Amino acid sequence: MSELQRLDVHHAPALLRFEQENRAYFARSVPDRGDDYFVEFAARHAALLAEQATGHCHFHVLVDDDGTVVGRFNLVDVADGSAELGYRVAERATGRGVAQDGVRRICELARDEYGLRRLVASAARANPASLAVLRRTGFTEAGEVLLSGQPGLRHVRDLHAEPAVYIGS
């Protein structure tokens, strides 16, 4: 059983491994982080933890029983009861409901622990799996956006409303 954990200093090695192992997979649907991301990973990780300490963001990792990171679920730009949700899941964990489960968990955490009322999330039109996860977890389409120059859809979720039951693939 996987556990959603708040990002901490001890996650750095497993998180770096997650990003390295899935780099090519992620680059198929989102812009590549670039070589500097990996070269400067330790400093970047420390900066994320410092930013998290301000309360303006909440970073999480989904960790398997063996300590392997299988996903990231982040809440950024926290303000006025709202935040932007971003997530990514390891290629080996796709097709098993991991993303959907992680998004459900982060929505509950956002509401119950962080006092948020609304989340916003965007996904590229070229990423139908991510769009399906958002629909299945109670997000509703709120318009079109450009994501690194690519067409995407913006979604919102009221965390105090019951999510709609989604039937379909």
pLDDT tens for 48-58 read 999 999 999 99
Task: Note the pLDDT of residue 100.
Answer: 96
Task: Note the pLDDT of residue 163.
Answer: 55
For the full predicted model, state whether its pTM sits above 0.85.
Answer: yes
| Residue 163 belongs to some domain of the structure | no
The token pair at 102 is: 């992680």
Choose the weakest-confidence range: 29-33, 87-91, 122-126: 29-33
78 φ, ψ (degrees, to nearest 5): -70, 120
| Residue 25 belongs to some domain of the structure | yes
Q: What is d(CA 47, CA 44) in angstroms, rounded to the nearest whole number?
A: 5
In which domain, by residue range, is 151 found? 3-158
> What total of structural domains would you count in the chain?
1
Identify the CA nearest to 107 among candidates 142, 80, 125, 82: 82
| Residue 27 belongs to some domain of the structure | yes
Tally DSSP H helices, then E strands, for the chain.
6, 7
More confident residue, 165 or 51: 51
pLDDT tens for 101-112 read 999 999 999 999
For the chain, give the number of residues: 169
pLDDT tens for 128-140 read 999 999 999 999 9
Q: What is d(CA 57, CA 17) in angstroms, rounded to the nearest whole number?
A: 23
Task: State yes or no: pLDDT of 92 exceeds 70.
Answer: yes
* Residue 120's CATH number: 3.40.630.30
